[in-house]
Amino acid sequence: MNALHPDVMNRPTTSGRSMVEVNNLSLIFEANDAPVHALSEINLTIHKGDFVSFIGPSGCGKTTLLRVIADLEQATSGEIKVGGTSPNDARLNRMYGYVFQAPALFPWRTIRSNCALPMEISAQSKTHQHAQIDKYLQMVGLQDFHNKFPWQLSGGMQQRASIARALCLEPELLLMDEPFGALDEITRDHLNIELLKIWEATGKTLVFVTHSIPEAVLLSTHIVVMSPRPGRIVKVIESPLPRHKTLSLRDTDAFHALAAEIRQALAEDHQLD
Ligand SMILES: Nc1ncnc2c1ncn2[C@@H]1O[C@H](COP(=O)(O)OP(=O)(O)OP(=O)(O)O)[C@@H](O)[C@H]1O
């Protein structure tokens, strides 16, 4: 039998298909000059195992919505459930992992030691920590770099390490805020495919913020198109593409058609064209 850590065993069971359920949610930031309607009347269901991307122009509330799911921001009104419970309980039960735009690794810790940190905080055994780190560094292809320091790795490798760190706690849900936004296109392509492999291998639910239409099309089962002032959802598009994807899919008519549908949804609302 698998020796599960008590933290994992005590998690509320996430029954049903829904991983994130948002109903009529609004969030207003009280700023000095005027309040900012960052999110307005958001309704969204994210099912277990889905790969959902938030896309939209700067300031439309993508990060804010991700942070509400993560319990890092509080809604002004409306309801949200994460894994059938409140975002606060989901956070306390370590139901999600969060990957930021910048890798946010401690420079004085090795890659292994950075990955260990969340497990040290939750007092997991050293044996368990090492097994998890080995498993996920292997999955992101960094097994030979575990004793390096972050500054000895490229930006893409650092981001892979931060993904491994997030996975070490075995979260059911992975929240990623433009994790590859700062990387060159070739590295981004490579990491997109790596992320798809991890998603397929682990069956986790992924919520991913991006500015890139091709990235959203390549990765997602569902694309949530958002619009600013106030931040709201314009359209949720279910991808007709297969769940198993390769880069060659980008040359297909189906890929271009989906990209055009997203572009149109963005343009209809903002007259970007
Ligand atoms: N802590 C805060 N206080 C006041 N306003 C905020 C705060 N955080 C975000 N905002 C505002 O809320 C709106 C949504 O911001 P958010 O960062 O969620 O947008 P975004 O779509 O993620 O943008 P980007 O693509 O540029 O990262 C913006 O107008 C932003 O200025």
Structure confidence by residue, pLDDT tens digits, 22-60: 999 999 999 888 889 999 999 999 999 999 999 999 999
Residue pair 48/202 in contact by the 8 Å Cβ criterion: no
CA–CA distance, 48 with 83 (Å, rounded to integer): 9
Predicted local distance difference test score (pLDDT) of residue 199: 94
User: Average pLDDT, stretch 205-224?
Assistant: 96
Ligand 1 site-directed mutation target among 58, 68, 101, 211, most atoms within 8 Å of CB? 58
How many angstroms separate the alpha carbon of residue 146 from the centre of ligand 1?
Answer: 35
Element (H, E) at 36: strand 36-47
How many angstroms separate the alpha carbon of residue 264 from the centre of ligand 1?
Answer: 23
Query: Does residue 11 carry a pLDDT above 60?
Result: no
- Pick the closest to residue 222 from 21, 16, 87, 55 (CA basis): 55
**Omega before residue 230 within 30° of 0, cis:** yes
The pair phi, psi for residue 39, each rounded to 5°, is: -140, 135
More confident residue, 1 or 58: 58
Instruction: Pick the residue whose CA is nearest to atom 2 on ligand 1.
Output: 29
Instruction: Pick the residue whose CA is nearest to atom 5 on ligand 1.
Output: 29
Query: Does residue 2 carry a pLDDT above 50?
Result: no
CA–CA distance, 59 with 216 (Å, rounded to integer): 18
Predicted local distance difference test score (pLDDT) of residue 10: 42
Residue whose pair of structure tokens reads 């390490």 in the numeric block? 161
Q: Which of 14-28, 45-59, 162-176, 210-224 has the lowest mean pLDDT?
A: 14-28
Query: Does residue 139 carry a pLDDT above 80?
Result: yes
ipTM confidence score? 0.97
The pair phi, psi for residue 207, each rounded to 5°, is: -125, 125
Predicted local distance difference test score (pLDDT) of residue 190: 86
How many angstroms separate the alpha carbon of residue 67 from the centre of ligand 1?
Answer: 11
Residue pair 55/262 in contact by the 8 Å Cβ criterion: yes
Element (H, E) at 53: strand 51-55
Return the domain boundaries, the chain.
Answer: 18-58+67-95+173-271, 106-170
> Can you give the C-alpha Rg of the chain in angstroms?
19
How many angstroms separate the alpha carbon of residue 210 from the centre of ligand 1?
Answer: 14
More confident residue, 163 or 4: 163
User: Average pLDDT, stretch 152-161?
Assistant: 91
CA–CA distance, 125 with 128 (Å, rounded to integer): 5
Predicted local distance difference test score (pLDDT) of residue 12: 45
Residue pair 20/44 in contact by the 8 Å Cβ criterion: yes
User: Average pLDDT, stretch 88-99?
Assistant: 92
Average pLDDT of every residue of the chain? 89
Query: Does residue 174 carry a pLDDT above 70?
Result: yes
CA–CA distance, 161 with 181 (Å, rounded to integer): 16
- Res. 180 pLDDT band, cuts 50 70 90: confident
Give 80's contacts (C-beta < 8 A, 6+ positions apart): 20, 21, 22, 23, 25, 68, 69, 86, 87
Range 18-58+67-95+173-271 classified under CATH 3.40.50.300: yes
More confident residue, 170 or 224: 224
Instruction: Pick the residue whose CA is nearest to atom 30 on ligand 1.
Output: 59
Q: pTM for the whole thing? A: 0.89
**DSSP category for residue 45:** E
- Res. 70 pLDDT band, cuts 50 70 90: very high
- Res. 270 pLDDT band, cuts 50 70 90: low
Q: Give how far the C-alpha of residue 232 lies from the chain's centroid of Cα atoms, to the nearest Å.
A: 19
